[in-house]
């Protein structure tokens, strides 16, 4: 519908209310129909429409490698030709960069309050765990053919506001070299992932998904 604007160009209270209602309806629709928006949030303001911003309950930090890594450069050659004239030319050369082995650690958070606002459900949570565990199995390539999730540790709180600070829980998980640290790591078995379950705060439970 159309809204009344006061002579000085400022929107009336009724107009602001109607616009806000329309934006809320848009946010509700997007959260209800799109898993990524109700999980991770989105900014949905455009020139034509304004659904505002959705703060998602799921957030992840950037992953960091446990040990320093040294990427290797691999030369590749294209043997196929596109035209008859290319038969006499040298083959096309290219490069790929690989990491012989690296173990990355990434930490994340899920806000119960924001989950309640976006409609993020227990089914969505289980889907998120499945995605984290299996995502790399559907994204293989020559350069990253063996990427996979090796350990998923979840701290579950009894209270919506949390029973302990996140950083205190992350400190309970340590990753150490299980083999000779003077040699480069080349397998997950070169590391030991340990959880200090004796010092888990009251009201928090630890779940190991894999």
CB atoms < 10 A from the CB of 163, how many? 16
Task: Give the model's pLDDT for residue 70.
Answer: 85
Q: What pTM was estimated for this model as a whole? A: 0.78
Nearest to 10 by CA among 123, 52, 19, 184: 19
pLDDT tens readout for residues 149-172: 999 999 999 999 999 999 999 999
Neighbours of 139 (CB within 10 A): 8
Model pLDDT, residue 4:
45
Q: Is the pLDDT of residue 37 over 90?
A: yes
Nearest Cα neighbor of 60 from 106, 115, 118 is 106
Alpha carbons 116 and 150: distance in angstroms, whole number: 30
CA distance 8 to 6: 6
Burial class (CB in 10 A: 0-12, 13-18, 19+), 58: buried
Q: Tell me the two tokens of residue 176.
A: 């150490």
């Amino acid at each position: 519908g159309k809204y009344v604007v006061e002579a000085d160009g400022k929107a009336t209270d009724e107009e602001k209310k109607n616009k806000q209602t329309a934006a809320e309806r848009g946010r509700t629709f997007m959260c209800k129909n799109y898993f990524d928006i109700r999980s991770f949030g989105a900014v949905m303001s455009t020139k034509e429409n304004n659904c505002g911003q959705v703060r998602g309950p799921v957030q992840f930090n950037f992953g960091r490698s446990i040990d320093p890594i040294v990427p290797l450069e691999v030369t590749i050659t294209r043997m196929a030709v596109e035209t008859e004239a290319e038969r006499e030319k040298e083959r096309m050369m290219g490069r790929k960069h690989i990491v012989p082995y690296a173990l990355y650690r990434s930490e994340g958070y899920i806000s119960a309050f924001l989950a309640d606002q976006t409609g993020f459900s227990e089914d969505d949570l289980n889907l998120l765990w499945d995605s984290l565990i299996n995502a790399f199995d559907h994204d293989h390539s020559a350069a990253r053919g063996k990427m996979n999730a090796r350990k998923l540790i979840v701290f579950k709180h009894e209270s919506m506001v949390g029973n302990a600070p996140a950083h205190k829980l992350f400190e309970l998980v340590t990753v150490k070299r299980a083999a000779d640290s003077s040699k480069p790591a080349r397998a997950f078995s070169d590391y030991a992932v340990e959880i200090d379950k004796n010092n888990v705060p009251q009201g928090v439970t630890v779940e190991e998904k894999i």
